[in-house]
Structure 1
Amino acid sequence: DTHDLLLDSFRHATKSVLGRTIADERLMAKVGQPLSVQMWDFTDDEAVHDELLRVYRAFNESAHDERISLFPGTREALESLCDAGFSLGVATSKMHPLAQRGLEVLGIAEFFDCIVGADDCVRHKPDPEPVILGARLLGVEARRCAFVGDSPFDIQAGNAAGMHTAAVLWGMFDEDVLRAETPGVVCGRFDDLAAHLIARRAC
């Protein structure tokens, strides 16, 4: 769970660099895309854009380890999936080193066989490149993968890659926003997600 950290990072950067307060809804509207893409929503000046990135990242990374946490049921669901023979990977819009650090801080890095970060790709979600690369690194055909996400950009990317998609409701987007992207399933709890994926694999 990084919601509060992300929001406070956006608030700090935009207030410090732009000198004004921007509505939280606008700050968080494109979470799930690379940060460099999101910052263009607040300026069309390259120097200002780069300063927003710098200030955001400095604040975010200084508070990161103390302000991230696991959603309820995360570890148990990951254990269930690994016990059932799943290979797991992460395709994120975070930079690869920060994503790796987050998994290690939370004590769940052991469950994942690969990470695809924003710095590993040319194109980013909603383009399918990151998830297709993740499948390749896992050694699994994309059509045999499931992609789990909490943003519309996740579901768009997974659908475009030909994967089964699962939208989860413990993220930052409302259920109707996620359902509009036609995921294969919508799950409200981690144990429901694990049970669905295990049952689907057995079919």
Structure 2
Amino acid sequence: MRHVVLFDLDGTLIDSGPIILASMKHASLAVLGREPDEELVRAAIGGPGLFAQMRDLDPDRVDELVEAYRLHNEPLHATLEGFDVLRLLPVLKDEGRRLGIVTAKRLRTVGLALDRFPELGEAMDVVIGAEDTERHKPEPDPVLEALRRLDASPADAAYVGDSPFDIHAGNAAGVFTVAVGWGGIHPDERLLHAGPDALVHTAEELHGVL
């Protein structure tokens, strides 16, 4: 049994894929006057963060794109829905596990999700956001920082995520990696190509591999 279970946020705990795509489209249209390539946008979600994604759209207008994205995206957090996996969190806590969130989102935006789902914040022993490490997923630094704060070893931990970036980060950190297929952004084939220790499609399957 893994005594520490770390989760990605977007597409893993909360169904934020639709609002991310909508806000990326809005920012590109508002600032650049064109729609982005949706497949390229999808492929980058869950990676090294918003600034890197906007740099791919236009390296000369990153700040404008980020501002347009955030103005559009932050109010949409009030409409967020959680995935079924949220009901697994109290079960894991009752089993004595320590839980954490490891995300590329800045902590202010993470706070919007935690406001929407108070039970999510209450379940977490650590939250790692964009400000907490210099390097971001797919580098292992955010996962390792969570373990450092929990005084836990990689051998005793799992990282659960919906993107190849999550799996690469977890593998590089030496933890047990679980890809979830319910995020709606990255197809199973892309997740499997990243080399997770397990791929699951339900909360029950996740509980089983942990």
Which shifted more, 133-142 or 160-169?
Answer: 133-142
Cα distance in 2, alignment partners of residues 110 and 64 from structure 1: 18
Instruction: Describe how 1:73-152 pairs up with structure 2 within 5 A.
Output: 74-107=85-118, 108-152=120-164
Q: Which structure 2 segments of 5+ residues have no match?
A: 1-14
Identify the match of residue 198 of structure 2 among 158, 170, 185.
185
Q: How many residues are aligned here? A: 193
Aligned match of 1:49: 62
Q: CA deviation at 1:22?
A: 1.9
- Report which structure shows greater RCO (CA 8 Å, sep ≥6): 2
Identify the match of residue 40 of structure 1 among 55, 70, 75.
55
For the 8 Å contact 1:143–1:161, the answer to whether it is kept is no
**TM-score of the two chains, using structure 2 as the length reference:** 0.89
Q: CA deviation at 1:151?
A: 0.3
Cα distance in 2, alignment partners of residues 120 and 44 from structure 1: 24
Aligned match of 2:5: none
Q: CA deviation at 1:105?
A: 1.1
Q: Which runs of 4+ in 1 moved over 3 A?
A: none
Q: Percent identity?
A: 38
Q: Which structure 1 segments of 5+ residues have no match?
A: 198-203
For the 8 Å contact 1:128–1:158, the answer to whether it is kept is yes
Q: Tell me which structure has the larger Cα radius of gyration.
A: 1
Aligned match of 2:26: 12
Identify the match of residue 23 of structure 1 among 20, 37, 40.
37
What do you get for the CA RMSD once the two structures are aligned? Answer: 1.1
3-state SS of the aligned residue for 2:166?
Answer: helix
CA deviation vs aligned residue, 1:41-72 (integer Å, no higher than 9, x gap): 11121xx1110001001110122222x11112
For the 8 Å contact 1:91–1:115, the answer to whether it is kept is yes
For the 8 Å contact 1:80–1:194, the answer to whether it is kept is no
For the 8 Å contact 1:169–1:187, the answer to whether it is kept is yes
**TM-score of the two chains, using structure 1 as the length reference:** 0.92
Q: CA deviation at 1:109?
A: 1.0
For the 8 Å contact 1:150–1:168, the answer to whether it is kept is yes
